[in-house]
Each structure stands twice: as structure tokens, then as C-alpha cells.
Amino acid sequence: MQRRELFSFLSSPLKQESQSYVRPPYFSDINAFDTECRKCEGKCATLCQEQIIVIQSDQTPSLDFSKSGCTYCDACALACDFGVLKLEDKRVIHADVTINQTTCLSWLGVMCFSCKDPCLENAINFQAMFMPTIDNQKCTACGFCISRCPTLAIDIKGKR
């Protein structure tokens, strides 16, 4: 290893090995995605009305909010033949939603309410008209605000 390569390696951030997907909201055991979903053909993704469920390379479903959000329609739970997603386990999406203040237009002083308008739970509050924040007590992590943001300033990360 060259000296230059060593210093660039040491100065680069360490990559995380484990992926943290945002999962559909109808599960009780997060580990079941890794064991049971590998036996399935991805029926939940096929029946998703909003087409936000994608099957990852490891054969597990995750949510992609780049075009739409979750309506909690129950279709994925009804389609699950392996008991990973069940209606009785319905809950909010297990994820953290945050607004990146360095790329959000409102935080930069531009009047923009793109994220607030699609939020059915009124979970996005504006302080002094230009500083949106997410009320985690109200937010269901449905993701409708994510695709509406013109600067992609809303981040969502699955909880493990």
C-alpha cells in the first residue's frame, strides 16, 4: 500500500456493513424479514397500490418513497403468505424522519410548504414561517412528504 493510499483510507469515513431498510408497517418481528421473506416471490410488492414496496437483492421488502407514500391500505399484509406482515401487527412505519436544514429551501429562507401540504397528520410544524420541524409524536413515517420535497431535504432511515 502506497503512503498516499494509506492516508486516504484513514481519512475516509468507515462504511457501515449493515443496511437499514425501511420496512412495511405490518410486522412484529424484524428478523422475520431475513428468514421468511427469502421464501417468497414478493407478492407484497406486486399488490402495493402506491408501488412503494421494492424487493431488495437479499429478497426482502423495503419501502421506496421517491414517488409516493404509504396509505396503510393493508394490501401487503393481506398478501403475505409467510406471516411476516400481519393485519394485527399494523402500526406506524418503524423509521426516523428528519429534515436536513442545510438543503431545505425553507431553512434557507425561501417560502416553501411542499412537505407540509401532503402531511395528513399535520406532523410538520413551521417555526417563524421558515423553519419546518417534524413532530415525531404525530408523524407516521408514511413518506408522502419525501417525494414532494424539491431539494430532497427529508431523510428517512429505518430503525433496526
Using a 10 angstrom Cβ sphere, with 0-12 exposed, 13-18 middle and 19 or more buried, the burial of residue 149 is buried
Contacts of 66 (CB under 8 A, 6+ apart): 146, 147
pLDDT by 10s per residue, the chain, length 160: 555 444 444 444 443 334 589 999 999 999 999 999 989 999 999 999 999 999 999 999 999 999 999 999 999 999 999 999 999 999 999 999 999 999 999 999 999 999 999 999 999 999 988 899 999 999 999 999 999 999 999 999 988 6
Domains within the chain, CATH numbers bracketed: 32-89 (3.30.70), 96-158 (3.30.70.20)
pTM over 0.95: no
